[in-house]
Amino acid sequence: MSDQFKGQVMLITGAAQGIGERVAELAAAQGARLALVDRSPLVHDLRQRLSATAEVMSIEADLEQFEGAEKAATQTYQAFGCIDILVNNVGGTIWTKPFEHYGPAEIEAEVRRSLFPTLWCCRAVLPFMLKKKKGSIVNVSSIATRSVNRVPYGAAKGGVNALTACLAFENGERGIRVNAVSPGGTEAPPRRVPRNTARLGRKDKAWYQEIVDQTVSSTLMKRYGTLDEQAEAILFLASDRASYITGTVLPVGGGDQG
């Protein structure tokens, strides 16, 4: 495996499991110095596992609040002296149901989970990148901006796409590239920290199955992707191999453009 990130400092949010965990594993193998951020203490287990081969720190933080993002960015900068790459991976559907069944508090919770961590982390990290006049931000969006039974989540990820475009416009001439990857359905181990701890009823299971069916039918390949297929796309956009790419939202959904 190459050492394309050798010496570069990469801050990865939502790193404790799923896509974020796989990004961290691959980046560590390619020489990155890592700051792993998650609200779950599981992030420390990942740090311990990767520290045998890479320089790694782990931070527990609630990124739905700016204070958490500021803490993560500041501690990373203090430890490493710079932040070269930010991968914003926090987000995920909490509930799955037709929009008329969402309560106001649930709608707000979905937006807080899947838009604000990316918004806050971009704001917290950007000043450190501007000091160096160079940096790469990769936001993890979703093809669920066109999907069923998760309107608030889709709206939040649509906000991530707009954030990506606007930040790229503002910072292209200042040396900061900003892109996004929009994953489709992805095969992953069961979440160790579920997004929703409530017991699913019959209707909930049926609504969730509608998402699965729509995801598979919308992809030209008629299958879910793998963690590696998502992580490799993220790392490509993060790397200098994508040095002339900014403001791009890359769908990684087997042909589903989102």
Give me the residue spans of the domains in the chain: 9-252
Q: Which pTM does this prediction carry?
A: 0.95
Over residues 203-232, mean pLDDT: 95
For 169, residues 6+ apart whose C-beta sits below 8 A from its C-beta are 247
Exposure class string for 76-108: b at 16+ Cβ within 10 A, else e: bbeebebbbbbbbbbbbbbbbbeeeebeeeebe
Q: How many CA atoms are closer than 13 Å to the CA of 213, on its beta-carbon side?
A: 8
pLDDT (tens digit per residue) in 144-157: 999 999 999 999 99
Helix H or strand E encompassing 101: none
CA 96 to CA 33: how far, in whole Å? 37
Residue 208 is a catalytic residue:
no
Query: Crossing angle for the helix pair 42-50 and 18-29, nearest 10 degrees?
Result: 20
Over residues 31-36, mean pLDDT: 98
Mean of the per-residue pLDDT values of the chain: 96
pLDDT band for position 1 (cuts 50, 70, 90): low
pLDDT band for position 35 (cuts 50, 70, 90): very high
Residue among 77, 102, 153, 224 flagged as catalytic: 153
> Which CATH number is correct for 9-252, 3.40.50.12780, 3.40.50.10320, 3.40.50.720, 3.40.710.10?
3.40.50.720
